[in-house]
């Protein structure tokens, strides 16, 4: 049933069923969903699959219903699945032989880069590490001098991606006497593209890479105007839209598989492995999602808290974005639960609860005492108990497997989150507009990244160390920087809409109020802050003394990438636009044809 007041139609709507999906055909949708938080009754509405593109005017509302209605065509149990696994094993052995047999350094770097962009590098981590270690040690002994722009920039980017501190001054040889990049470099489009991508791995204080970014951005745009080879033009346009370092790995892999297959020099073994691997991993995601759908229904939160967003699908997609490896199934399931609980509790503070109720709820969360729950109204009791049971259940799993009691760490991040929500509720009720600094000191917590990443660490780490636990207590920069980027990116996408709905001012409005700047200038300032925070993040990714595994560091940077993916073109979490649908179909429902 379409909820009353949800949308206005120019004519009487005509509904039809096609392939088991309820569709709205024709009639001209002229209104929009006006309610801020649409009740769970909307989940009955679904969208057409890609095969029904000819049907006009389809009203898309429920991503979960959409995915649930699709057939998991790439799930191949039994003999076919076993045959796929055997074939994948054969192909992996072939690729390992390629990595071993490559003679020169540049060919090895190109192969590593291709394997990574195709999304299959996790099968060859030891081999890739050994290759990069060997080449990096050679480059340290002045072999950078013998490389052209393409080889220098490719090596630099790969080294930094893997935590090596490659020096930015290797690009000084490409500057002229006046300190500018040589004009002749504009003729080397591949080299320019590599330098452009490398520039996004800059760290604080590195001016050469900042100059390289400006130079290559301008030069690549000019190259597109004057014309270049189609394959190269495709890569350039893709990079200018968003650099590789800022892209979500699994989505990038899906795009690159198609782009690489069109190249004349494409390796058929790599293509076959990439397609097979993508589909096999997608089937694992589908199993994860089935479990999460069942869990979400058993919580009863969607039915009992009708004011809260029912966003299980979007919450799951986030976890695929930052924990994409197939072996991280437990972490994806934990993270989906975390994201769903965050969304629900956010709506308790943001939409439904009175200030008095919110203060009481925050107090009960901080006490972590189930007996204190009796003070709460019924809807808050359900919410608290769902969180309480989840945290204690996860802590039991970790204690059983590894020994440490992680409840104090989980309690702390949830308490910090609720306290941050309460601060914002008080600001809203009093009409207070904080300074940008005051806002950010609270907002990097209220965006919930510390909660997300703390749970990610415990759910994806095989060996929890005392050093890491001590670091987590202080909320390290590897958690803070993704939180800042997530917050600022979210603000850029949603602040205007949220203000219309009566939300507190976001970073843009705080900066405008504090400095008198225009909205355009404020937005540019926030974009600058995002870029500078990325530099800090890049520095931490190269830290040799980090107590965290490389996998966790990659998870943290993937939160940044998901933020840019979801919020880079509007609010892809609160809303459900074509980009949101594309993410779901790409990651979860549409296998790659063999």
Q: Which residue has the tokens 């000819």?
A: 54
The full set of domain ranges for the chain reads 14-61, 79-273, 283-589
14: part of which helix (H) or strand (E)?
strand 14-18
Question: pLDDT for 405-437, tens place per residue?
Answer: 999 999 999 999 999 999 999 999 999 999 999
CA dist 347 and 367 (Å) reads 21
Contact (Cβ atoms closer than 8 angstroms) between residue 423 and residue 485:
no
Question: pLDDT for 447-456, tens place per residue?
Answer: 999 999 999 9
79-273 and 283-589: same fold?
no
**Average pLDDT of the residues in 472-495:** 92
Choose from 2-6, 22-26, 236-240 the range with maximum mean pLDDT.
Answer: 236-240
The pair of three-digit structure tokens given for residue 348, joined into one six-digit string: 């308790």
CA dist 260 and 268 (Å) reads 10
**Closest alpha carbon to 358 in 343, 345, 371, 344:** 345
Choose from 60-74, 152-166, 224-238 the range with maximum mean pLDDT.
Answer: 152-166
pTM over 0.75: yes
Using a pLDDT cut of 70, give the percent of the chain over it. Answer: 83
Give the pLDDT band of residue 142 (cuts 50, 70, 90). low
Give the pLDDT band of residue 12 (cuts 50, 70, 90). very low
**Average pLDDT of the residues in 117-139:** 95
**Average pLDDT of the residues in 524-532:** 97
CA dist 407 and 413 (Å) reads 10
Q: Which CATH class name applies to 79-273?
A: mainly alpha
Q: For 140-267, where are the alpha helices, taking DSSP H only?
A: 149-161, 189-199, 207-226, 230-241, 249-261
283-589: CATH architecture? Orthogonal Bundle (1.10)
105-117 vs 249-261: helix crossing angle, rounded to 10:
120
CA dist 566 and 557 (Å) reads 14
CA distances from 358 to 41, 307, 347, 373 (A): 26, 15, 11, 13
Give the pLDDT band of residue 228 (cuts 50, 70, 90). confident
Question: pLDDT for 245-280, tens place per residue?
Answer: 999 999 999 999 999 999 999 999 999 999 999 999
Q: Cβ–Cβ contacts within 10 Å for residue 72, how many?
A: 17
Tell how far CA 322 is from the center of its chain.
5
CA dist 581 and 105 (Å) reads 41
Q: Which residue has the tokens 């050994």?
A: 130
Radius of gyration of the chain (CA): 25
Task: Please work out, in degrees rounded to the nearest 5, the angle formed at the alpha carbon of residue 504 by the alpha carbons of 301 and 427.
Answer: 95
């Amino acid at each position: 049933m379409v909820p009353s007041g949800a949308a206005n139609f120019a004519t009487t709507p005509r509904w039809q069923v096609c392939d088991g999906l309820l569709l709205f055909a024709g009639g001209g949708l002229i209104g929009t969903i006006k309610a801020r938080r649409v009740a769970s009754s909307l989940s009955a509405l679904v969208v057409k699959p890609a095969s029904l593109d000819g049907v006009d005017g389809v009203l898309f509302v429920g991503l979960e219903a959409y995915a649930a209605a699709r057939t998991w065509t790439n799930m191949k149990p039994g003999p076919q699945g076993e045959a796929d696994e055997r074939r994948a094993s054969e192909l992996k052995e072939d690729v390992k032989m390629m990595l071993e047999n490559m003679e020169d350094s540049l060919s090895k770097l190109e192969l590593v880069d291709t394997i990574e962009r195709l999304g299959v590098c996790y099968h060859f981590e030891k081999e890739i590490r050994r290759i990069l270690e060997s080449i990096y040690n050679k480059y340290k002994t002045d072999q950078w001098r013998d490389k052209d722009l393409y080889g220098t920039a490719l090596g630099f980017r790969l080294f930094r991606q893997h935590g090596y501190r490659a020096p930015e001054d290797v690009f000084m040889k490409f500057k002229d006497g006046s300190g500018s990049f040589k004009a002749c470099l504009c003729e080397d489009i591949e080299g320019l593209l590599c330098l452009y991508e490398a520039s996004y791995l800059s760290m604080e204080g590195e001016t050469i890479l900042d100059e390289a970014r400006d130079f290559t951005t301008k030069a690549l745009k000019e190259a597109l105007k004057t014309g270049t080879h189609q394959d190269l033009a495709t890569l350039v346009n893709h990079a200018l839209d968003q650099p590789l370092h800022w892209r979500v790995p699994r989505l990038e892999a899906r795009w690159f598989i198609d782009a690489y297959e069109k190249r004349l020099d494409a390796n058929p073994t790599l293509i076959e492995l990439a397609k097979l691997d993508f589909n096999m991993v997608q089937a694992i995601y589908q199993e994860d999602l089935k479990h999460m759908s069942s869990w979400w229904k058993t919580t009863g939160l969607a039915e009992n808290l009708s004011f809260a967003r029912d966003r299980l699908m979007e919450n799951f997609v986030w976890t695929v974005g930052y924990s994409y490896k197939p072996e991280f199934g437990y972490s994806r399931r934990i993270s989906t639960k975390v994201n769903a609980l965050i969304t629900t509790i956010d709506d308790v503070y943001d939409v439904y609860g009175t200030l008095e109720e919110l203060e009481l709820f925050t107090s009960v969360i901080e006490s972590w005492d189930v007996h204190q729950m009796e003070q709460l109204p019924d809807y808050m009791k359900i919410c608290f108990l769902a969180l309480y049971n989840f945290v204690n259940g996860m802590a039991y799993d970790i204690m059983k497997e590894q020994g440490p009691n992680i409840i104090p760490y989980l309690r702390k991040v949830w308490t910090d989150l609720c306290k941050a929500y309460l601060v914002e509720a008080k600001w809203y009720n009093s009409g207070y507009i904080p300074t940008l600094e005051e806002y950010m000191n609270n907002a990097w917590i209220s965006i919930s990244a510390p909660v997300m990443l703390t749970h990610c660490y415990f759910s994806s780490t095989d060996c929890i160390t005392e050093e890491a636990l001590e670091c987590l207590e202080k909320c390290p920069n590897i958690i803070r920087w993704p939180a800042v980027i997530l917050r600022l990116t979210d603000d850029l996408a949603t602040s205007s809409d949220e203000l219309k709905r009566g939300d507190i001012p976001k970073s843009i409005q705080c900066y405008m109020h504090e400095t008198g700047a225009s909205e355009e200038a404020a937005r540019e300032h926030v974009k600058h802050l995002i870029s500078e925070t990325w530099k800090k993040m890049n520095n931490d990714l190269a830290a040799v003394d980090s107590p965290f595994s490389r996998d966790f560091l990659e998870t943290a940077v993937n939160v940044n990438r998901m933020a840019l993916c979801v919020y880079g073109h509007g609010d892809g979490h609160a809303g459900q636009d074509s980009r949101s649908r594309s993410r779901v179909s790409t990651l979860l429902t549409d296998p790659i044809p063999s």
